[in-house]
C-alpha cells in the first residue's frame, strides 16, 4: 500500500470549512417551518436506472479522497470500484460549505425534482436536517454487507438517524483540544484547564455553534447525547464569563491552525485530522481528548431523493467499507476511520508509514480514548433559532 503522509499535503479537507452554525440557507427554510418542505417516504424514490446506466454521480468535499501522487486526477479507490463493478463514478468536489450546498440543492428537493447527484457527503448537523426533511432515501443493507459487518459501533446510532438507515459515515473525527505542550510548560487534561490564568488571551474556541457546543458542555459534565436547553444556556454563561475576563483571544474557523502554529495561541478547540498534519511540522503540538470527554462526529454519505442510480450508489458506499479500501482512504485523509478493521490492514503492511498510521489513536482511537467519545444529540430546528442567536452574540457572528 502506498501511503501519502500528512506532510505531503499542505491543506486538510476540513480546513476549507466555513460552517457558521446554522447559516441563512438552513434557517430560512427550517425557521419558517415550511410544511411543504417535508417529503413523505413514499415520494422519495425514483425508477432506478442502475442496471442500464452503469454510473454514479458523487458530490464530495475537496481533498477528501485518495489521489495518485504522480497523476493527481486519478483516484485509486474509485478506479478500483470501477474495475471491479463496471460502474463509472462521476466524482465532483463541489461541496465547500454545508449551508451553501444546502441552498444549492434544496430548491430541487423541496419541489420534488432530481438533484443530478446520487451521493452527497454532509456534516452530522446538516445530515440531520436532510433526514428530518425526508430529503434522503433509506438504503438497502442487503446491498451493503460490508457496512453491516464493519461500521464502527460508536457511529451506528446517532440520534438523527438511529441504525444509520439513511446515512453512512464517510469519515469521522474528534473535536478536542490542541495545545503546544513545550511552550505552555505543562500538561492540559480537561476543558476547564483552558480557563487557567497562564492561558489568558492565548485560547481560541471554534466560532460555529454546531462545532463548538458539545465539547464545552462536556466540560460541565453534561451527557451530550441528551443535553437540554438549560445545559446549553449554562455553557453559554460560562463562555461569556471567559470572554469578559479576556481569557479567550478570539473565536475562529479553521484559522486556529495558523494561530497555534505561530505561537499566538497556546491552546484551542481543534479537529483531530488537522492536528495530525500540524504534528508533522511541530511535534510539540498535542491533541487531547479531555477527561470529561470529547465529541465524535462524522461526515456522512447520503442518497438524495429521486436519485437515478441508487443501487450503484449503495454499492459504492459498501466498496468503501471493505477494510482494504477503508485503509487506503484513511492513509490519505488522516481522519478517524469508520472501519476499525482497516487498522489490521495497515498494521500488516510492509512499510513503516502504514504501520505508524495503524498505531495513531487519532485515526484508530484506542479503547481508553473510545470510552470518552460521544456523538452529541443534534440541535433540532425548533431549538436552532433561539440557540444560534445566543451563541452568535457571544462569538461575534
User: Could you list the pLDDT tens digit for every one of the 397 residues in the chain?
Assistant: 434 443 334 344 444 443 333 443 444 454 444 446 899 999 999 999 999 999 999 999 999 999 998 998 899 999 999 999 999 999 999 999 999 999 999 999 999 999 999 999 999 999 999 999 999 999 999 999 999 999 999 999 999 999 999 999 999 999 999 999 999 999 999 999 999 999 999 999 999 999 999 999 999 999 999 999 999 999 999 999 999 999 999 999 888 999 999 999 999 999 999 998 899 889 999 999 999 999 999 999 999 999 999 999 999 999 999 999 999 999 999 999 999 999 999 999 999 999 999 999 999 999 999 999 999 999 998 999 999 999 999 999 8
Contact 345, 321 (CB under 8 A): no
Q: How far, in Å, CA of 18 to CA of 28, rounded?
A: 18
DSSP letter string, 293-360? -EEEEEEEEE-BTT-S-HHHHHHHHHHTTSHHHHHHHHHHH-SB-S-TTHHHHHHTSSSHHHHHHHT-
Q: How far, in Å, CA of 227 to CA of 387, rounded?
A: 13
Length of the chain: 397
Cell of 161: 438517524
Helix, strand or coil for residue 184? Answer: helix
Query: What global pTM score does this model have?
Result: 0.90
* Alpha-carbon dihedral sign for residues 250, 253, 257, 258: negative
> Which residue's C-alpha cell is 461541496?
95
Amino acid at each position: 500500500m502506498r501511503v501519502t503522509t500528512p506532510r505531503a499535503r499542505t491543506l486538510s479537507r476540513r480546513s476549507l470549512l466555513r460552517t457558521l452554525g446554522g447559516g441563512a440557507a438552513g434557517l430560512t427554510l427550517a425557521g419558517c417551518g415550511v410544511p411543504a418542505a417535508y417529503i413523505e417516504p413514499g415520494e422519495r424514490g425514483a425508477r432506478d436506472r442502475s442496471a442500464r446506466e452503469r454510473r454514479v454521480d458523487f458530490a464530495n468535499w475537496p481533498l477528501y479522497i485518495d489521489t495518485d501522487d504522480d497523476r493527481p486526477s486519478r483516484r485509486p479507490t474509485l478506479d478500483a470500484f470501477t474495475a471491479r463493478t463496471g460502474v463509472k463514478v462521476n466524482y465532483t468536489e463541489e461541496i465547500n460549505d454545508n449551508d451553501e450546498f444546502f441552498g444549492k440543492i434544496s430548491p430541487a428537493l423541496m419541489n420534488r425534482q432530481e438533484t443530478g447527484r446520487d451521493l452527497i457527503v454532509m456534516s452530522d448537523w446538516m445530515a440531520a436536517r436532510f433526514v428530518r426533511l425526508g430529503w434522503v432515501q433509506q438504503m438497502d443493507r442487503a446491498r451493503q454487507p460490508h457496512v453491516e459487518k464493519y461500521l464502527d459501533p460508536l457511529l451506528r446510532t446517532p440520534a438523527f438517524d438511529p441504525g444509520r438507515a439513511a446515512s453512512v459515515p464517510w469519515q469521522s473525527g474528534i473535536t478536542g483540544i490542541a495545545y503546544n505542550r513545550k511552550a505552555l510548560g505543562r500538561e492540559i487534561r480537561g476543558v476547564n484547564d483552558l480557563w487557567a490564568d497562564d492561558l489568558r488571551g492565548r485560547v481560541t474556541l471554534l466560532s460555529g455553534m454546531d462545532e463548538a457546543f458539545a465539547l464545552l458542555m462536556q466540560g460541565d459534565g453534561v451527557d451530550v447525547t441528551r443535553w437540554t436547553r438549560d445545559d446549553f444556556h449554562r455553557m453559554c454563561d460560562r463562555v461569556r464569563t471567559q470572554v469578559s475576563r479576556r481569557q479567550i483571544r478570539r473565536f475562529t474557523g479553521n484559522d486556529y491552525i495558523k494561530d497555534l502554529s505561530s505561537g499566538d495561541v497556546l491552546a484551542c478547540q481543534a479537529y483531530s485530522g488537522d492536528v495530525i498534519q500540524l504534528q508533522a511540522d511541530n511535534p510539540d503540538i498535542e491533541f487531547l481528548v479531555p477527561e470529561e470527554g470529547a465529541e465524535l462526529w462524522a461526515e456522512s454519505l447520503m442518497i438524495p431523493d429521486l436519485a437515478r442510480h441508487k443501487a450503484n450508489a449503495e454499492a459504492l458506499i459498501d466498496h468503501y467499507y471493505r477494510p482494504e479500501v477503508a485503509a487506503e482512504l484513511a492513509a490519505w485523509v488522516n481522519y478517524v476511520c469508520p472501519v476499525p478493521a482497516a487498522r489490521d490492514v495497515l498494521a500488516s503492511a510492509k512499510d513503516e508509514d502504514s504501520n505508524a498510521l495503524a498505531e495513531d489513536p487519532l485515526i484508530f482511537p484506542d479503547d481508553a480514548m473510545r470510552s470518552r467519545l460521544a456523538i452529541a444529540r443534534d440541535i433540532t430546528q425548533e431549538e436552532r433559532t433561539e440557540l444560534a442567536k445566543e451563541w452568535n452574540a457571544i462569538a461575534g457572528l
